[in-house]
Structures are given as C-alpha cells and as structure tokens.
A and B are shown apart, each in its own frame.
Chain A
Amino acid sequence: MTTRSLLWRRRRDSVARFWRRFRTHRAGLYGLGALALIALVALGAPLLVGGDVQSVTNAPGTALESPSARFPLGTDQFGRSLLGLLVWGARVSLAVGLLAAALSVAIGTLVGILAGHYGGWFSTIVMRITDWFLVMPSLVLAIVLATVMSRSMWTVILAIGITSWPTTARLVRAQTIAVESRPYIERATALGGGHGHIMSRHVLPNVMPLVLSQTTLCISTAILTEATLAFLGLGDPTVVSWGGMLQDAREAGAVSSGHWWYLAPPGIAIAVVALAFTLCGRAIESVLNPRLGAGR
C-alpha cells in the first residue's frame, strides 16, 4: 500500500466519520436538505423557468395580477411571473452569497494566518487594522463601497467580502497561534521548514475545519447583506435577485396597495436560505470543534 492510497483512505474515513457525526444533528440535516433543494432549483432554473422569465418585453401577464393557476405567486408590475422571478432570483442571491462569503473568508484566513504566524509588530499592525474594520458598522461601509463603485453584482460581492472578513481573521489568528505552539511545529522548523511550508502544510490544514464552518455561517450573513443592499437600491437594477424583488415591490407601491404576494415570497426565501445555512454551519461547527462536545 502506497502512502498516497493510505492518505486517501484516511481522508475517506474522516469524511465518513464527519458525516456520521453530522447526521446526529437533526437541525443540521434539515438545513442541508433545504439547501440541497434550493441549490437544485437554482441550478435547474434555466430548465424550470427559462431565462426568458426576466424579459419585460415578452412578459406574459398584466401588471400586478393576484395569484392564480397560471401565475401561482401573481405577477410583478411588468407582468412577469413572480414564481419564475423567485426561482431565477435564487441564482443571483446564492451566487452572491457564496462568492462574497468565500472572498470574506479568504481574506480573513490569509490575514489571520499571517498575523498569527509572524506575530510581533507585524501582527500588532495587522490586528489594529482588523479592529478598525471590526468596529466599523459593516452595512454602512458596504453601502459606501456600493455607492462609489459602479452598480454591478461584482461590486456587491466585493463590498460584502471587504467588510465582513475581520471576525474570521481574529478566529483564524487565535487558532494559528494555538497550532504553532504545538511541539511538532518546532520540529518542522528544526528540520528546515520555512515560513511558507509551516503556514501552508501545517497551519492551514489545522485551521481548515474552523474556516469551513465559518464560511457556512458567513454565507447567511452575506445573503442577508446582499438582500439589504439590493433593497436599498444599491444592487444592479437589471439583475433579478430576491433583495432586488423587494425593492421593485416597494417602488411599485405594492406595500400600500396591499399586494402582499409580491413582498412575502422573496422575504421568506431570504429568511429560509439564511436559516438553512446557519443550521448547517452550527452543525458543522459542533462536529468539528471538539470543545463544543457532541452537541445536540
């Protein structure tokens, strides 16, 4: 048996062990189920509703129809099917949520590991910058960023990513310091391991579980922030997203004219996705973090 196959078996085992433990968290399973369903809908949207659902010139209905057999959730002010838009909007909301969370965690991990590894004045400076971002109200900062940059999906992703990384950075730095105090790191250094080797081969794999659970938790925040920014009219107005739908509903005067079916579905969808990610994240966290015990 080669070392490679050994390594793979060990990884398979640990994944299986992870799954066995994850399975015991019922709430986590519900979250995962909901996520799988939503992801399926989002990926299958081109087949389910087609890209044409966004088109205003080919809109099938009349403005602000109430729910009917043809339009289960009614129509928007252009006569587009709201169910179709809701399905289509899942793509943007999820994509932005995932990418922004990934960006945020990537920045946080990089900063955290560097600060934890090098320590000293470097760490002090980096952590003061982190603190500065931490105390800044992130929504305000995100609004400022989204305002000064051009209106596009990437701007929103960037705005969320740049404003939400400090928590991750702090967590990862603490974990890095904990990992680096272990004797085997000292041995690796003694054997000639450089900074890069230590950070990428020893520290990173050890902070990975933390990063993973942090990402899952980050996503729900990112989705909520995306919806908030879109609702405040800072998203790309030509892209259909859940937050953007809420904004459209408000602009159409759907609130005061009682068209609740325009407002409720995107709102509920945002809440459900955020909840699902939170449930999953919590479950992953308690599986991976032994200090939280079996957790149920």
Chain B
Amino acid sequence: MVTMAPHRSLRLLLASAIASGIAATSLTAGHPAQADEGDKAVLTVAVSQSVDSLSPFLAQRLVSTSIHRLTYEYLTNYDVKDARPIPGLATAWKASPDKLTWTYTIRTNSTWSDGKKATAEDAAWTFNKMMTDDNAATANGSYTANFEKVTAPDPRTLVIKLKKPQATMTALDVPIVPKHIWETVGDFSKFNNDKQFPIVGNGPFIITDYRVDQYVRLKPNKTFWRGAPKFDELVLRYYKDGDAAVAALRKGEVSFVPNLTPAQAASLKSAEDIKVNDAPGRRFYALATNPGARSKDGKKFGNGHPALLDPAVRKALFLAVDRKTIVDKVFQGHAVEGEGYIPPRFASYFWKPQGAQKLAHDPARAERMLDEAGYRKNSGGKRVGKDGRPLDFRILCHATDPNDKAVGKYLQEWWGKLGIGLKVECLDNVSDPWLKGDYDLAFDGWSVNPDPDYVLSIHTCAALPATPKDTGATDNFICDKRYDELYAKQAVEYDPAKRAQLVKQLQSRLYDTGYMNVMAYPNAVEAYRTDHIRSITTMPQAAGNLWGQDGYWSWWSAQPAASGDDQDSGSSAGLLIGAGSAAALLLAAGIAFAVRRRSTADDRE
C-alpha cells in the first residue's frame, strides 16, 4: 500500500534514497561529471526513487509520474500560479446541462515527436483502453471508473459520457498516449515502454534513454506548442544516498537536489552559487490508526490492537502528541504544524479544527480521558484495559525514513508518560504488514493534488479490498458511512465553492474519527546551482516546490546560466570517504599491527 500508492511518493523517494547508499556512492564515484559536454547546456537532476514503470498506464511513483508530465500532454494542466485547470491538450471544455456529457476541444498545434498530429482519437483511445482493459487501469483507473462512453466524433472533439456527475473532469491526471504506437501493445500489465528510444510523446521533453537506477535522459521537444524548453538536455541521475547527491551538487556534477535534510539545507544556504528552495510542500505527514482491517465482503483480518477501536484511546494518543515540537525538532522548522487532512497550500480546501473540536497538545486531558474510559494504571505504571490487556502498541515505521524514526522516539517518550508502551517497528517494506492489517499505528503520508478527490477517495468503503487476499486502493481500511455520504456528495458537486465546503466537512469528519491524525505538512526543501540554472519557476509561483510539481513548469521554464561555467569532475563520494577515513585508518593500523604480530610469531615457529 504505502510503497505502491500514487503520489505518496516523497516517502518512497526517501525510502529508496537511503536503501543502498554505499553502493550508489561507489557507483557515482566512478562516473565523471556529465554536465556541459561541449556547448550543450545539460540540466542534471539528482533523483533517488526508482522508476516503477515508464508506461503511463502503470506508473504510480512520483518520479515516474513526473517524467510523464514532461513527456505526454494531459487534457488539462494546472496553472502555475494558483493550480486552477488550464488548457493542456484540450483548449476548451464544457459540460452538458445534465452534467453527464463533457465535450473537449482538442488543440490543433500539438504533434507527436514522430511527426503525426495528436488528435481527439488518441485521447479517446487512451480512455477506452483504460475502460476496457483492467491492466491499463492500474495507475489511473479511478478517473475512468465512472465513464460510460468516450468518443471522438472528429479529430478536434472529444466527448465523454458519464454514468453520474464527476467533479474531477477538469483535473483528469491521465497522460494521453499516441494511439498509433500503443495499439500494437499486447499485455498492458507487462509493457513498460522502456525498450524503444526515443519514446514518442508530445510533452515539452522526449525520453531518449533510460537505464534502471542509473539515469533517465530527456531532450527538449522542439515542436512543443507552448515553446521548446531552453536546456539542451535534461538528465535525471541516480544518487541513492542523499549525502552523495549533496556532495555532487557542491561539485557541480548535478544542478538540482530535492529532499534535503535540515542540516544539509543549513549548510548549503551558505554555499556559493547554490540556492536553497524551502517552500510549503503538498504533502501531509500523519499518524494512521488501524480501525480494524476488513474487506468489502465483511471479513475482518489483521491483528490491530482492540483498544484502538475505542475513540477515547485514539483521542488520548493524539492529545499527547506535541505537533509543535515535531515541527521544531524533527523538521527543524521546515514544516508546518498539522491541522486538517489537506495542506494549507491548497487554500480553498484547507480546513482546520476550531474550538472544542481541536485536539490541542494536552497530556493532562489525555490522562483524564484514559482514566474515564477505564484504562487505569496498574502498579507498574502501565495502563491496562478492562480485559486486562495492557496498552502496548506497535507503530509501523519506514526504516529508510529518518523522520519516522525520529518522531517514533518522541512518541515513545510522550506515550510512555501516559503509561502506554510503544514498539517502533521499522521495516524496509511496510507494505506487507500494512496490507495484512498487522499493525496498530503507522506513519502515513501522501502528496496531495490540486484536486483532492484522489486522497479523499482512499478512505471510502469502496476502496476496501474485495476480499482479505486482494489489494484495495484503501489507505488505512477506513470505512465510515458518514464520510462516504459526504464523499459521494462532493464527487458530483460542480460548484467549486459548494464542493470546497463539502470537502471541508469531509475533513472534519475524518478528524473526528481519529483514524488519520495529521502531525505536520513537511516543506519541500531542495537546492539548485545558480551557475547552471539562471531562472526556474516554482509552483505555486510565489512560494512553491520545483520537484514533483503538478505540471511541467519547473523544467520547462528553466533557463541555463549564460556563462556555462565548467565544473571539475571529481569523485562525488570524496566527502563521504574522507569522513570515514579517520576511523578506517585506525582500523587498518590495528589490523596491520595484528597481522605483523602474527607473522613474527609464525616466523619463530
């Protein structure tokens, strides 16, 4: 669940980032700098998350969906300033009075990179494929589930008929693929679109080469209708170790590094020719509580702690969490204190609890609440339920995410004072126990799109797995009638203000259930070299992120620095090696000494 979910990707990014640090360092050390071959302006971006698939029908990770944003047009795009829907492949759209038929006008000036025109026929084929082939619906099937019929009466017109109204019709995050290329694909569950290069697309960039966990190369699409990007090449280069990526940035081997730690950001701020971008992110970081895992057929499974089914326990746990300390200490200010489900960056949907509803940090109230609910402390200071079972919880933590471990330490101490035990279970692969429902609590986080439908849909009963053996789209097995009613209402509401109101009510309901407790909204902390990149557009333009945007704005808009300063090629791992060398030297001395002793002893034999 956690690893495969779309847009939950920062987490994954971090996960894979650290997974094979040493291997990556030695790997990157072998490569000399690639930037500026001749007079080519190359924009190199350090990435760590592995590509799951280059097929738009399968790709769910942030790195892959970001690549697809760059290489395929979607019907609509998001405005760089305020994320409202703006023309993409479609130049205009309108809904019929009964809200069930949507007509899109397709632009005439978009061409596939092999010279053919992009038409409504391509879009219709893409949607029809997703509707008829389950394997093609893996990544974005939620958008087309409610489609009844998609047709292209002429090359410039796309008509989508719906079963019932759908609010996401101007935010269909589905890459439109060229029909004439994809028609020949047999099994969509196996085709990864990574054999024949360049890959035919109509976005601002074209993929020219890709090697697993080494690089993805893209060249600008000179015929892109909005104008060709300014850089001569865009390379996503793999650095599985964050420190190695930062060292490469300092050396000038890469131009951009995302996901910095607070210490890295602080030290890069004073570095020459490097700009640190610290902006509100589009992600939330939450504490998920197992509501008793179940499937659609009513079967219960997993071994979540029964005490967590008591709302008082869930509330008490969250009352003891000091969100301000988490922001100040763990994120060191590079985050905003958690409130509702949707980050404040999406102002129209942002909701925060007021007055009595708010569970502010109040350990004394948590104690009272637990006492009243019958969880008394025993002689050992441990809280025990009426059934005699002590409140000892487990929390699922991503072994590769330092924030999980850090927050876990705080939770242990805060809840320890309440008399509640906590075992921090850090795993490389949290998906297995998560999908089986074998957890009490878990660290959870999602990147939120400008249209919140997706992140809201994962908490509906409809998202539960069909049987305990299946995998559902559900995030945390939440199934709440009141929530589902509100979700259904907002999904068919076309009036933005009214829909926003419903989305806020949804968040309020989710907050009250206590199953998803948002602790913080982490910032996007990233850095780039100003001697490589003269200017680049963040999203939102005022204060926003560069990596993982809901559009192609950052890389499309990036302007190369004029001088094209040459960088020296050096070992990016130098720093790491240097730091460890003191210890290694001492060790080597010890071994050498021991060996010498042995040899003298042998000589005497």
Minimal beta-carbon separation of A57 from chain B (angstroms): 5
Are B604 and A295 touching (Cβ within 8 A)?
Answer: yes
Are B426 and A286 touching (Cβ within 8 A)?
Answer: no
Binds A, one of B163-171, B186-194, B575-583: B575-583
Are A257 and B586 touching (Cβ within 8 A)?
Answer: no
The CA of A286 and the CA of B594, in the complex, are separated in Å by 12
Given contacts A27-B597, A78-B409, contact A57 B428 (CB under 8 A): no
Are A237 and B261 touching (Cβ within 8 A)?
Answer: no
Given contacts A263-B580, A278-B594, contact A256 B604 (CB under 8 A): no
Are B329 and A56 touching (Cβ within 8 A)?
Answer: yes
Residues of A within 8 A of B260 (CB): 253
Are A268 and B582 touching (Cβ within 8 A)?
Answer: yes
Interface assignment of A77: CB less than 8 Å from any CB of chain B: yes
CB proximity to A under 8 Å, residues B561-605:
575-576, 579-580, 582-583, 586-587, 589-591, 593-594, 597-598, 600-601, 604-605
Residues of B within 8 A of A200 (CB): none
Interface assignment of B242: CB less than 8 Å from any CB of chain A: yes
Contact of B583 among A238, A259, A271 (CB under 8 A): A271
- Give the most central of A150, A238, A253, A256: most B CB within 10 Å: A256
Interface assignment of B232: CB less than 8 Å from any CB of chain A: no
Interface assignment of A183: CB less than 8 Å from any CB of chain B: no
Interface assignment of A14: CB less than 8 Å from any CB of chain B: no
Residues of A within 8 A of B600 (CB): 295
Minimal beta-carbon separation of B294 from chain A (angstroms): 26
Given contacts A63-B332, A233-B400, A256-B575, contact A267 B598 (CB under 8 A): no
Given contacts A238-B424, A275-B590, A278-B594, contact A252 B402 (CB under 8 A): yes
Interface assignment of A270: CB less than 8 Å from any CB of chain B: yes
Are B247 and A256 touching (Cβ within 8 A)?
Answer: yes
Given contacts A57-B413, A255-B579, A275-B586, contact A292 B425 (CB under 8 A): no
Residues of A within 8 A of B264 (CB): 253, 256-257
CB proximity to A under 8 Å, residues B311-337:
325, 329, 332
Interface assignment of A18: CB less than 8 Å from any CB of chain B: no
Q: Nearest A residue to B428 by beta-carbon distance?
A: A147
Interface assignment of B88: CB less than 8 Å from any CB of chain A: no
Residues of B within 8 A of A255 (CB): 243, 247, 575-576, 579
The number of residues on chain B lying at the interface, defined by a beta carbon within 8 Å of a beta carbon of chain A, is 55
Interface assignment of A194: CB less than 8 Å from any CB of chain B: no
Interface assignment of A145: CB less than 8 Å from any CB of chain B: no
Contact of B414 among A57, A79, A237, A268 (CB under 8 A): A57
The CA of A14 and the CA of B389, in the complex, are separated in Å by 56
Interface assignment of A192: CB less than 8 Å from any CB of chain B: no
Interface assignment of B410: CB less than 8 Å from any CB of chain A: yes
Residues of A within 8 A of B424 (CB): 237-238
Residues of A within 8 A of B296 (CB): none
Residues of B within 8 A of A275 (CB): 586-587, 589-590, 593
Are B402 and A282 touching (Cβ within 8 A)?
Answer: no
Chain B 415-443 per-residue mask, 1 if CB under 8 angstroms from chain A, else 0? 00000000011111000000000000000
Contact of B408 among A64, A237, A267 (CB under 8 A): A237
Interface assignment of B307: CB less than 8 Å from any CB of chain A: no
Residues of B within 8 A of A238 (CB): 408-409, 412, 424
Are A56 and B413 touching (Cβ within 8 A)?
Answer: yes
The CA of A237 and the CA of B18, in the complex, are separated in Å by 15
Chain B 122-148 per-residue mask, 1 if CB under 8 angstroms from chain A, else 0? 000000000000000000000000000
Are A56 and B410 touching (Cβ within 8 A)?
Answer: yes
Interface assignment of B262: CB less than 8 Å from any CB of chain A: yes
The CA of A274 and the CA of B247, in the complex, are separated in Å by 30
Residues of B within 8 A of A248 (CB): 402
Are A78 and B604 touching (Cβ within 8 A)?
Answer: no
Are B583 and A253 touching (Cβ within 8 A)?
Answer: no
Are B261 and A253 touching (Cβ within 8 A)?
Answer: yes
Interface assignment of A291: CB less than 8 Å from any CB of chain B: yes
Interface assignment of B359: CB less than 8 Å from any CB of chain A: no
Residues of A within 8 A of B329 (CB): 56, 59, 63, 78-79
Q: Nearest A residue to B582 by beta-carbon distance?
A: A264
The CA of A268 and the CA of B427, in the complex, are separated in Å by 29
Interface assignment of B406: CB less than 8 Å from any CB of chain A: yes
Are B409 and A253 touching (Cβ within 8 A)?
Answer: no
Given contacts A256-B267, A293-B601, contact A274 B575 (CB under 8 A): no
Are B18 and A233 touching (Cβ within 8 A)?
Answer: yes
The CA of A55 and the CA of B417, in the complex, are separated in Å by 12
The CA of A260 and the CA of B576, in the complex, are separated in Å by 10
Interface assignment of A13: CB less than 8 Å from any CB of chain B: no
Question: Besides A253-B261, A271-B586, 14 other CB < 8 A contacts?
Answer: A56-B409, A63-B329, A237-B408, A250-B18, A251-B261, A253-B264, A255-B576, A256-B250, A256-B264, A264-B579, A270-B583, A275-B593, A279-B593, A295-B597
What are 8 residue pairs bridging A and B, where the CB atoms are less than 8 Å apart in the complex?
A57-B414, A250-B243, A252-B261, A253-B246, A258-B267, A271-B586, A292-B604, A295-B597
Closest 7 pairs (CB-CB, A-B): A267-B583, A257-B267, A253-B261, A275-B590, A251-B402, A256-B246, A253-B264
Interface set of A (CB-CB < 8 Å, partner B): 27, 55-57, 59, 63-64, 77-79, 147, 150-151, 233, 237-238, 248, 250-260, 263-264, 267-268, 270-272, 274-275, 278-279, 282, 286, 291-293, 295
